[in-house]
Structure 1
Amino acid sequence: MKKRTVTRRAGIAAIGAALLITAGATGSAVASGEAGVTGKTPRDAAALTGSAKLYRSLGDDITFTFDARLAAEHNDDPTRATGTFRFSHFLHGEGAWAEAEVDCLITGGKVAVVSGVITRSDLEGAEGRRVGITVHDLGGKDRLGYSWASTGSPVDQGDVPKCVGSAPFEKVKHGTGDFRVLPWKPAL
């Protein structure tokens, strides 16, 4: 009887040790931000994605598209956000487009403020200018605002600091909005 008890205890100890090793390896992989045993990658610290057209009664074709992310490892510094956004405004064949490289992203709840420097555009004088945009993710009724709202053009707006946009006063055209805001959770 004594031999069975020793063998049984040794088996239980071996299983317990194996479980502890597995748990430790999984915990280390998750803590280091690697996919590890679970195959999951850590979630972004914040994100703004999607595209929409703005509503205008005159029929202006105004489109905004975002792919901006703040990686989990940069949670304490929203100026480390990456990605691009693009916007265009055309009416009766006249207008312009621009693409910007993200330099800051801050989100809270369903609201995101993203800024970036225009890297490509057909609007003369726009390249090299920073612009800021605010998005309110409301399901199919998203709203948007932009730093050049009071001047009419990014070229005429003056200098804009990182992560500054205007109130989201514009309405998205029905059926076109699919903005997605991932809330930022800074360590405060």
Structure 2
Amino acid sequence: MAALLLIPFFLIRFGLLSALSRDGLRRAAHYPPVEGWERAALWLYQLSTAALLLLILLSRVKAAPPACFRAGGVLYAAGLLLLVLSVAAFAAPSEEGFCQSGIYRLSRNPMYVSYFLLFLGCALLTRSLPLLLCLAVFQLTAHVLIRAEERWCLRTFGAAYARYMGRVRRYL
């Protein structure tokens, strides 16, 4: 049953983050101000997130073909590991007010990368084309929101964030 794949995700994303940081969940749930067509992207992001979770809940893991199963397992495990590293670093923002340490030295958005890897792993483990299509919508709309978040971070954190952007890639 693929629903079991969501248990570690929720335990890390919500349980570990709340255990490591009092305000971590609040900060992680913060959406930047969106403008114009970004509002539609935010709604599509929320709907695609719900669809991803629902499709996983309704799916079954399929062991055949073995190569697909192994690749899905590797991507899923990599997503979980990256999520743990992201949550641990996110729990302790820098003095400037945003995350720059740990995995955030390599990616400005490792949590989003971890979601992509984890859900791609789930799509392969379940061999679900609808899940893969929802993931594509999720990822495209997440990119729009990440750009809005970067705009907000530049306004909020100024030159410190601009220097960070110059040093660290958006994704990988």
- Higher alpha-carbon Rg: 1
- TM over 0.5: same fold? no
- Which TM-score tier does this pair reach, normalised by the shorter chain? under 0.3
Whose helix fraction is larger, Structure 1's or Structure 2's?
Answer: 2
Whose strand fraction is larger, Structure 1's or Structure 2's?
Answer: 1
Q: TM-score, normalised by structure 2?
A: 0.24
Q: TM-score, normalised by structure 1?
A: 0.23
